[in-house]
Amino acid sequence: MYLGQAAIPLLVQERNEEGISFTWPNNPAANFSIPILVTQDGHSTEYAVPSTGERFPLAEDALLQVDPRVTLFRDFGTTEACVID
């Protein structure tokens, strides 16, 4: 995904007590739904969060996995390294 520019798009995730947001600072016109898996109290739910900087409410103790099915980002063989047992 180069979107017609030379710079590789940079996805920035910001998480605080109000939730999480995603932006593409070097390509603000990019707007993708970022798939996330949220696990809290033993239950997991998938959501799609816009990459427009909009804050998605998320509890501070919730575990988060970005693109759990590797549908947006390509798997470079590092998926296993991101799994916590």
Residue extents of the structural domains in the chain: 12-82
Give just the sign of the alpha carbon dihedral 36, 74, 79, 24: negative
Q: What is the pLDDT at residue 80?
A: 61
pLDDT at 21 over 90: yes
Structure token digits, residue 53: 């900087």
Cβ count within 10 A of residue 20: 21
Please tell me the least confidently modeled range out of 28-32, 54-58, 64-68, 70-74: 70-74
Q: Which pTM was predicted? A: 0.76
* Contact call for residues 45 and 37 (beta carbons, < 8 A): yes
Structure token digits, residue 16: 């605080």
* Contact call for residues 23 and 63 (beta carbons, < 8 A): no
Structure token digits, residue 77: 């063989």
pLDDT band at 46 (very low <50, low <70, confident <90, very high): very high
